[in-house]
Chain A
Amino acid sequence: MSDTNSDSTPDQGTSRRTAMKAMGLTLGAAAFAKAIAPLTQWTADLSLDEFLQKHYKELSNDELANVIERLEAETKEEYGAEVEINDYRPEPGVQFGYALNLSICIGCRKCAEACHKENNHDRASQESYIRVLEMDKGSTNLENGNANYKHPVPKSDKYYMPVQCQQCDYPPCVDVCPVEATWKENDGIVVVDYNWCIGCRYCEAACPYHARRFNWTKPQVPKDQINPNQGYLSNRIRPQGAMEKCTFCLHRTRQGQMPACLEACPTGARVFGNLLDPNSTIRWVLENKRVFVLKEDLGTKPRFYYFFDE
């Protein structure tokens, strides 16, 4: 300040001005501290381990074990539930595929409900990875579909088309991710590292099937409703601000079980299995039914097939 004091402004004016400035600075600093107070509270809850956590593919077995231990402890602390998180890896010789029989789907949304429970979705928003479209018979144009029907099903002039992640062989969502937080696994399942995702939502814009869901807030699930069998890359409770998606229930299917949506289906419209197994039902469907995929023109090569009986 001494530099300016020698200038033309009279001393008295300068000192008053300096005093005003000091006051302004103090007020400004106080207002700044007040403004970022919510952020300081938030960072206090964020552990250094979490902040510095490496990408899933870079974690050694020991590091991953530590991360899982931390996540289990956090679930216990924040949700009050004892859960077991496992890192289920893809099996060699397995390529998963899914098919859905549109002739017998009745639009009951039991699949969406099962997904909601199995995958520990936020209860308030009634989130699910599956949306069921009610379609006009005589049209496969999605524009004529309606996902918000609230009447008894099935209606005779309609058919029903559940849509979930198509686990594309050329997934646009994976290409656009700036930080490689999402990728396609060796068995064909597209996964997200919930602890690496920065939440830019570019993948959500890129997905042509509305398959991705964002955690707009911290998911809330009552303690007794939490599914304790959790996969690190699938149904563990997701952090706020990260992206998530259908994983074909990899914590079940990589253990030889069927996806929750399939088990919940009352009509048997859903067929799931290993595309490399010539004796599997999914292979039989693909070889004997006239199947189609959604938005084939986009070149995404979905692993999710639709077919009609007749």
Chain B
Amino acid sequence: MNGDSQSTRTLQTTHFSGNYFRFLWRSFLLATEGSWLFYTWMTLLTAVALVGLNAWAVQVKEGMVLTNMTDHVSWGLYIANFTFMVGLAAGAVMMVIPAYIYHDRRMHDVVIVGELLAIAAIVMCLMFVVVDLGRPDRFWHLIPGIGRFNFPLSMLTWDVIVLNGYLLLNLHICGYLLYMRFLGRQPNPKWYIPFVFISIIWAISIHTVTAFLYCGLGGRPFWNTALLAPRFLTSAFVSGPAFIILALQIIRRTTSFHVGDGPIQTLVNIMRVTILINLLMIISEIFTEFYTGGTHTSSATYLYFGLHGHDALVPWIWSSIVATVLATLFLLCPKVTQNLWMLDIGCVLALVGIWIEKGMGLIIPGFIPSTLHELVEYAPSLLEWKITAGIWAAGLMVYTISLKIAIPIFTGETNLLRQNSKSA
């Protein structure tokens, strides 16, 4: 890097746009050049994403009758995944806080991995919302100015603002840092530090507002609890670090990016606290529901034990609880940071547990029994699984490509003057 500084100074006089196009072109090359492993991975993701795209096209044409949603259970797998993904996006802030507030140097070096995850996760959130719309062609009705934006009354309009705002914030932060690294220039703190601090507060807001979507509905007692937003945040601060730990280990093995044990240790420490608070909140909710009893407990009874012979969600929620408890035990084990396989299993279990709990275990029982206390069950259709898998694949593509571009720029393997000689 030092050797380049002299020449970059002269380059500062060249036109901004010229360099920026070089940056975009180089990014494009980085995104399309790679090892066979990279090509195989991307081809696989493309194939799954196309299957999902086709399923969605069919759903738009034939109608959402092809899903297993009904007037009784009117949100399903899409909104379940949406809720989980908002958590993943918010959870990435658990790297940003140590890096920027506690000035953890080693975390600072890898924080881009979390910020890019936030981008990919928000893109997936937006896709999950779009596929849940009966009329995606009328999407423009939601755009302030040309549509009719029911702000501030509708919590969904708040969600539109905070999710897109969070996406823009992270795009700006990542884009600016990458471009400066590419130019070989020191990033100017005033162009990104304020945005980093805004993004920390913003991360809290995205999951709070998403919880408010549900907990503000008086007709749905299962969601109508003040604990919902704190629970959302706590579980997000488990799932986010869990995903990042797995991503960091893959990056460490497949690229030249240096990922020390420090950031992983910090994330494990965070998870050790958040996963316990999450368990405490689950116990608190279960106690309040079942000790009180009465009609408002019907959904919880249905979820955990089944109601009047209907028990489709019982295996889901107990899998979630077992996975979360096991993950807690693994993570609390003092040897977990030495035995990485234990850490990996713990993270996977935590992710699975929270994916169920924030999705099928939260959205679906809100509708069962229905507001007139009818018991209509729900299990996703094949088409819903295809679309969901497609969005996951598309999100992983976004994440892979953005890491593929960011890592060589961050390691200095490529910059304005130097070509990337070997593909990662």
A residues apposed to B, CB below 8 Å: 3-4, 6-8, 21, 24, 28, 31-32, 34-39, 41-43, 46, 51, 55, 131, 133, 141-143, 145, 147-148, 163, 172, 175-181, 196-202, 204-210, 212-218, 239-243, 295, 298-300
Name the segment of B114-122, B127-135, B232-240, B314-322 touching the other chain: B127-135
Query: Would you call B65 and A216 a contact (CB within 8 A)?
Result: yes
Contact with A along B214-232 (1 / 0, CB 8 A): 1001111000000000000
Across-interface contacts of A8 in B (CB, < 8 A): 421-422
Alpha-carbon gap, A214 to B219, bound state (A): 18
Counting chain A CB atoms within 10 Å of each CB, which of B69, B148, B157, B421 scores highest? B148
Across-interface contacts of B46 in A (CB, < 8 A): 28, 31
Across-interface contacts of A6 in B (CB, < 8 A): 419
Q: Is B424 an interface residue (CB 8 A)?
A: no
5 A-B interface contacts by CB (under 8 A):
A36-B57, A39-B57, A141-B295, A210-B374, A298-B218
Query: Would you call A215 and B75 a contact (CB within 8 A)?
Result: no
Query: Would you call A43 and B137 a contact (CB within 8 A)?
Result: yes
Across-interface contacts of B134 in A (CB, < 8 A): 197-201, 214-215, 240-243
Query: Would you call A39 and B60 a contact (CB within 8 A)?
Result: yes
Query: Would you call A147 and B156 a contact (CB within 8 A)?
Result: no
**Contact check: which of A55, A147, A206 meets B374 at CB < 8 Å?**
A147
Q: Is B410 an interface residue (CB 8 A)?
A: no
| Inter-chain CB contacts under 8 Å: number | 186
Query: Would you call B54 and A36 a contact (CB within 8 A)?
Result: yes
Query: Would you call B133 and A210 a contact (CB within 8 A)?
Result: no
Instruction: Name which residue of chain B comes closest to A35, CB basis.
Output: B54
Across-interface contacts of A39 in B (CB, < 8 A): 56-57, 60-61
Across-interface contacts of B372 in A (CB, < 8 A): 131, 133, 142, 145, 147, 163, 209-210
Query: Would you call B54 and A34 a contact (CB within 8 A)?
Result: yes
**Contact check: which of A7, A145, A242 meets B421 at CB < 8 Å?**
A7
Across-interface contacts of B141 in A (CB, < 8 A): 55, 179, 181, 196, 198
Q: Is B15 an interface residue (CB 8 A)?
A: no
Alpha-carbon gap, A8 to B422, bound state (A): 8
With known contacts A31-B50, A131-B372, A38–B422 Cβ distance under 8 A: no
Name the segment of B91-99, B283-291, B363-371 touching the other chain: B363-371
With known contacts A209-B371, A218-B63, A241–B149 Cβ distance under 8 A: no
Query: Would you call A198 and B139 a contact (CB within 8 A)?
Result: yes
Query: Would you call B218 and A175 a contact (CB within 8 A)?
Result: no
Alpha-carbon gap, A147 to B71, bound state (A): 14
Query: Would you call B219 and A207 a contact (CB within 8 A)?
Result: yes
Instruction: Name which residue of chain B comes closest to A58, CB basis.
Output: B148
What secondary structure prevails in chain B residues at the interface with A?
Answer: helix
Count, chain B residues at interface, CB 8 A: 68
Alpha-carbon gap, A8 to B373, bound state (A): 69
Query: Would you call A202 and B71 a contact (CB within 8 A)?
Result: no
New A-B pairs, 11, CB < 8 Å, besides A131-B372, A181-B148, A217-B64: A3-B29, A8-B422, A24-B43, A42-B60, A176-B155, A178-B150, A181-B141, A198-B133, A216-B65, A240-B134, A243-B134
With known contacts A35-B54, A179-B148, A216-B63, A143–B295 Cβ distance under 8 A: yes
Instruction: Name which residue of chain B comes closest to A34, CB basis.
Output: B54
Alpha-carbon gap, A283 to B219, bound state (A): 28
Query: Would you call A208 and B218 a contact (CB within 8 A)?
Result: yes
Query: Would you call B133 and A199 a contact (CB within 8 A)?
Result: yes
Across-interface contacts of B157 in A (CB, < 8 A): 178
Query: Would you call A38 and B142 a contact (CB within 8 A)?
Result: no
Alpha-carbon gap, A197 to B367, bound state (A): 22
With known contacts A7-B419, A178-B150, A214–B71 Cβ distance under 8 A: yes
How far does the Cβ of B105 sit from chain A's closest Cβ, in whole Å?
33
With known contacts A178-B157, A205-B217, A206-B219, A199–B135 Cβ distance under 8 A: yes
With known contacts A163-B372, A178-B156, A42–B63 Cβ distance under 8 A: no
Alpha-carbon gap, A147 to B138, bound state (A): 35
Query: Would you call B74 and A204 a contact (CB within 8 A)?
Result: yes
Q: Is B44 an interface residue (CB 8 A)?
A: no
Across-interface contacts of A215 in B (CB, < 8 A): 63, 134
Q: In residues 148-166 of chain B, which contact A (Cβ within 8 Å)?
A: 148-150, 153-157, 160
How far does the Cβ of B75 sit from chain A's closest Cβ, in whole Å?
6
How far does the Cβ of B156 sit from chain A's closest Cβ, in whole Å?
4
Alpha-carbon gap, A4 to B26, bound state (A): 10
Across-interface contacts of B29 in A (CB, < 8 A): 3-4
Query: Would you call B148 and A55 a contact (CB within 8 A)?
Result: yes
Alpha-carbon gap, A34 to B47, bound state (A): 12
Contact with A along B57-80 (1 / 0, CB 8 A): 110111111010111101100000
**Contact check: which of A28, A163, A208, A218 meets B219 at CB < 8 Å?**
A208
Which 7 pairs between the two chains have the least Cβ-Cβ distance? A199-B134, A208-B219, A241-B134, A217-B63, A217-B65, A178-B156, A35-B54
Across-interface contacts of B371 in A (CB, < 8 A): 207-210
Query: Would you call B75 and A42 a contact (CB within 8 A)?
Result: no
How far does the Cβ of B42 sit from chain A's closest Cβ, in whole Å?
9
Query: Would you call B156 and A241 a contact (CB within 8 A)?
Result: no
Alpha-carbon gap, A14 to B295, bound state (A): 69
How far does the Cβ of A89 sit from chain B's closest Cβ, in whole Å?
20
How far does the Cβ of A112 sit from chain B's closest Cβ, in whole Å?
13
